[in-house]
Amino acid sequence: MHIFWTAIPFRRFYSEEPELIPRELRRPPPIKPPPDGGWGWVIVLSSFLYNVLVLGYHNSFGVYLISLLKEFGETSSKTAWVGSISYGFIMVCGPLSGKLTVRYGAREISILGSLIIMISTVCSSYAPNLGTLFFTHGFLTGVGSSFAFTPGMIMVSQYFTTKRSLATGIVMSGGAAGALVQTRLHLFLIDILGWRQSLRVFSGLMIICVITGFTYLPLNPKGYTRSVVDNLKNSPLKKFVVDLGLWKDKIFLIWVAANGLCKFGFFIPYVHLVKHAVQLGIPVHSATNIMLFLGLTSMISRIIFGRICDSERINRLYINQASVFGVGLLYMLIPVLHSYGSLVAFGLFLGIADAGNYILLPVLTFDLMGAEKMPVAWGFMLTVNAVSCLGPPFAGWVNDMTGSYNLGFVVAGALNVAACFVLALIPIAKRSTRQTCKSIMNVTIDRSTQEITQWADNLPPIAEESPVSKYVNYFSTTTFRSPEITESRPEVYRGDDAETAGPAEVTRL
């Protein structure tokens, strides 16, 4: 039975067997630092393939829009909700995906998401109406895509430090590469087999994600990653309150507000640009070439921006602002672009402009909030970015009312320009927020008042410590804010010499 259990693929690498030594008396193993390479590059490749298949499928949904309009005869705004609901659930389920990844592991959740996508895509191929597609493609595929996409981004952040932007750029380029490949692939399959059979073929391709999901090996065993939430040992409700406390952070509020504005129109080109080109008199096969150029430049630019943003001389926030402003400007130029050549140029420059914001989304979230808050912050970020699901239906409604997508693009562009100015508030908020930037912090915690006092340079030996206080060696590689320090309650380590240690207790984190 033991041999059978160890052979199960989903079994984690840490032991779930009964422990001979109680957990409270056990010395925790040292936390492994990010290798900044090694197996991390395998993680990058696997996450890249996930984005190629999962995000590439969503980014090429515009090819299916024309077929669905012909099949069901509904309006553009109603039909666009099929893809928009799916986009929305990718974002809305971000916190749930992050929590499940921390609880059960990135490998298990990513594979589960892949299986959900396979099942839901097959079900979508038999949909008799749009209402069924709202559930199968919109809800089920959206939830599965969130489970498949989120773990990879968290794993890359854990495996890399100095090369994090490059690794993230490679991973995020997978969505553009997927749009580049799958736009042509789905168009070919639709022409030859029809849109229903095309979905079934894609469901078979998702087996690649199931296989690559097994490469998501945890850097540290579950249960030994110290965080602010882990230090609060009171109750699950306390952890929930700490998670919600992130919304009291001014920097985080500005960050999510800006991204909510700029992401409103993010999916509009991927859903409606092909149809917009067809309305201008461009043949559908030529219109799909616009998406090819968009995917090509986006894929290359994301890798280049990732390499550039790893430099210490580059301010990532400024790069992000320039990227957001560039996307907004391009959207606002759509009304004056009528020829095939001008729309190809639009796709080329949009791929370049959008790359900076797209790859820096997880990187800047990590930089601004720290490693300990990354899973929760990233989940909340995806939830706020669910506003992007409103963009395609809004543009479809504008097209139904006016006969053109121009106003939809202009509104999305104006929101991007506004987001650029909101991002300018982050440096101001950082200067007004009290920060503690030491990587090693030596403090004394009074047992009666729980008051924290900084150690002096000439510290007494441990044997001479006061019986009313305990010493803490608090190690961290991230930036902490003072409220987190005062709320945390470190665990007390009692080793083999606990009986002879006297009244003082040495706390280790």
Q: How many helices (H) and strands (E) does the chain have?
A: 23, 6
**What span, in angstroms and rounded, lies between the C-alpha atoms of 507 and 491?**
6
**What span, in angstroms and rounded, lies between the C-alpha atoms of 453 and 365?**
31
**What span, in angstroms and rounded, lies between the C-alpha atoms of 357 and 365?**
12
Conformation bin of residue 476: beta by default, left when phi > 0, alpha when psi is -120 to 50: beta
User: In what helix (H) or strand (E) does residue 155 lie, and over which residues does it extend?
Assistant: helix 142-159
Both tokens of 343, joined, read: 């729309």
Helix, strand or coil for residue 372? coil
**What span, in angstroms and rounded, lies between the C-alpha atoms of 81 and 104?**
32
In whole angstroms, how large is the CA radius of gyration of the chain?
Answer: 25
Show the 3-state SS of 413-468. Answer: HHHHHHHHHHHCHHHHHHHHCCEECCCEEEEEEECCCCCEEECCCCCCCHHHCCCC
Biggest alpha carbon–alpha carbon distance for the chain: 86
Return the exposure string of 106-129: e unless at least 16 CB atoms fall within 10 Å of the residue's CB, then b.
Answer: bbbbbbbbbbbbbbbbbbbbebee
Q: Provide the pairing of β-strand 506-508 with 469-475.
A: parallel
Q: Provide the pairing of β-strand 440-446 with 506-508.
A: unpaired
Predicted local confidence at residue 362, as pLDDT: 76
Helix, strand or coil for residue 507? strand
Query: What phi and psi, each to the nearest 5 degrees, are found at residue 206?
Result: -65, -10
User: In what helix (H) or strand (E) does residue 178 lie, and over which residues does it extend?
Assistant: helix 164-193
The answer to whether the beta carbons of residues 46 and 166 sit under 8 Å apart is no
- Bridge partner residues of 446 (DSSP): 469
**CA neighbor of 156 nearest in space, from 106, 87, 88:** 106
**What span, in angstroms and rounded, lies between the C-alpha atoms of 15 and 6?**
10
Conformation bin of residue 469: beta by default, left when phi > 0, alpha when psi is -120 to 50: beta
Both tokens of 230, joined, read: 């882990």
The answer to whether the beta carbons of residues 242 and 373 sit under 8 Å apart is no
Close Cβ partners of 6 (under 8 Å, ≥ 6 residues apart): none
The answer to whether the beta carbons of residues 265 and 330 sit under 8 Å apart is no
**Reduced DSSP (H G I as helix, E B as strand, rest coil) percent helix, strand, coil of the chain, to 5:** 70, 5, 25
Name the residue with tokens 């006297």: 502
Please report, to the nearest 10 degrees, the dihedral formed by the alpha carbons of residues 189, 143, 266, 371 taken in order.
-130
The answer to whether the beta carbons of residues 148 and 110 sit under 8 Å apart is yes
DSSP 8-class letter at 13: S
The strands making up 452-454's β-sheet, listed across from edge to edge, are: 452-454, 440-446, 469-475, 506-508
Predicted local confidence at residue 120, as pLDDT: 93
Helix, strand or coil for residue 405? coil
Distance (Å) of CA 89 to CA 62, 63, 94, 390:
18, 21, 8, 12
One digit per residue, the tens of pLDDT, for the chain of length 509 reads: 444 344 444 444 444 445 555 555 555 556 666 777 788 889 989 999 998 999 889 888 778 888 888 888 888 778 888 888 888 888 788 778 878 888 888 889 999 999 999 999 999 999 998 889 999 998 999 999 989 988 888 788 778 877 877 887 788 788 878 888 888 888 889 989 999 999 999 999 999 999 998 988 887 665 444 443 343 343 343 444 445 667 777 888 888 888 888 888 888 888 888 888 888 888 888 888 888 888 888 888 888 887 787 777 778 888 888 999 999 999 999 999 989 999 999 989 998 888 878 778 777 887 787 766 776 777 777 777 778 778 888 888 888 888 888 999 999 999 999 999 998 888 888 777 644 433 344 555 444 444 555 555 444 444 444 444 444 444 434 443 444 444 444 444 444 444 444 444 443 33
Close Cβ partners of 234 (under 8 Å, ≥ 6 residues apart): none
The answer to whether the beta carbons of residues 148 and 117 sit under 8 Å apart is yes
